[in-house]
């Protein structure tokens, strides 16, 4: 299928590729493509008139410590800095999921559309861990944070944390879903507005001691652990968790 071919070529995730096709921006052999179209290896595929190389280099995936102030998108209509400005020029590179502009921490960028789908589709439910610093006269208590585990009603429905515990100056929150600004909204509902938010883990991958603006490429073993956290050796998990929390916890 055409949308899968575009994803494998690193153009976009499968869902984003379907949106490109639906918008009439993709042609096959000079004809505007339609959703559900099948293609062969010899077909000429273009996006916005640009020829797509379906024999492109193997996909690449980076982990970036996103700094605050960067927008999580490939381009921004207001001219703000995007996360791609922090990365080496790489055809087809795109962010996986989102971190809002004011948030920091672990962000994946890849040319692999299939990986993007596996990490962002709700059915896979990859855990994410956040370190929040909060404002107010007192830090969140264990009793208050237990309400996050039981579930809090927000304007878009019940929001629930997998776990939440107090840490100096704020909280450590683990989510199995990824709604817009969810950690911020949950803690604000408790009366503890967030002044800084840092993502520490996604799936089986920890931020470690990667500093703001720093990035590195992930190898096959780390990509496997990212998708299969239960298969990370306990000793490796403990070391990465300790390294991350020692710097950021």
Catalytic residues: 100
Rounded distance, CA 53 to CA 70, Å?
30
3-state DSSP call for residue 195? strand
Note whether 32 and 13 are within 8 A (CB): no
Which of 194, 191, 172 lies closest to 128 in space, CA to CA?
A: 172
Residue 42: how many other CB atoms lie within 10 Å: 7
SS3 for 69-123 is CCECCCCCCCCCCEHHHHCCCCCCCEEECCCCCCCEEEEEEECCHHHHHHHHCCC
């Amino acid at each position: 299928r055409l949308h899968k071919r575009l994803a494998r070529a690193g153009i976009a995730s499968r869902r984003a590729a379907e949106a490109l096709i639906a918008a009439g921006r993709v042609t096959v052999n000079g004809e505007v493509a339609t959703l559900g179209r099948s293609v062969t290896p010899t077909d000429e595929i273009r996006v916005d008139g640009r020829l797509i190389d379906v024999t492109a280099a193997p996909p690449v995936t980076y982990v970036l410590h996103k700094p605050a102030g960067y927008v999580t998108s490939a381009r921004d209509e207001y001219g703000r800095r995007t996360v791609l400005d922090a990365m080496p020029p790489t055809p087809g590179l795109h962010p996986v999921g989102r971190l809002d502009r004011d948030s920091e921490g672990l962000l994946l960028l890849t040319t692999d559309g299939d990986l993007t789908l596996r990490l962002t589709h709700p059915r896979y439910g990859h855990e994410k861990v956040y370190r929040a610093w909060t404002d107010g006269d007192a830090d969140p208590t264990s009793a208050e944070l237990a309400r996050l585990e039981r579930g809090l009603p927000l304007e878009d429905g019940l929001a629930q944390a997998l776990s939440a515990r107090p840490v100096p100056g704020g909280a450590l929150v683990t989510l199995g879903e990824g709604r817009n600004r969810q950690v911020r909204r949950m803690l604000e509902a408790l009366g503890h507005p967030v002044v800084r938010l840092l993502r520490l883990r996604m799936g089986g991958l920890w931020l470690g001691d990667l500093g703001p603006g720093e990035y590195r490429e992930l190898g096959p073993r780390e990509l496997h652990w990212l998708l299969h956290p239960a298969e990370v050796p306990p000793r490796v998990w403990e070391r990465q968790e300790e390294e991350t929390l020692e710097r950021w916890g």
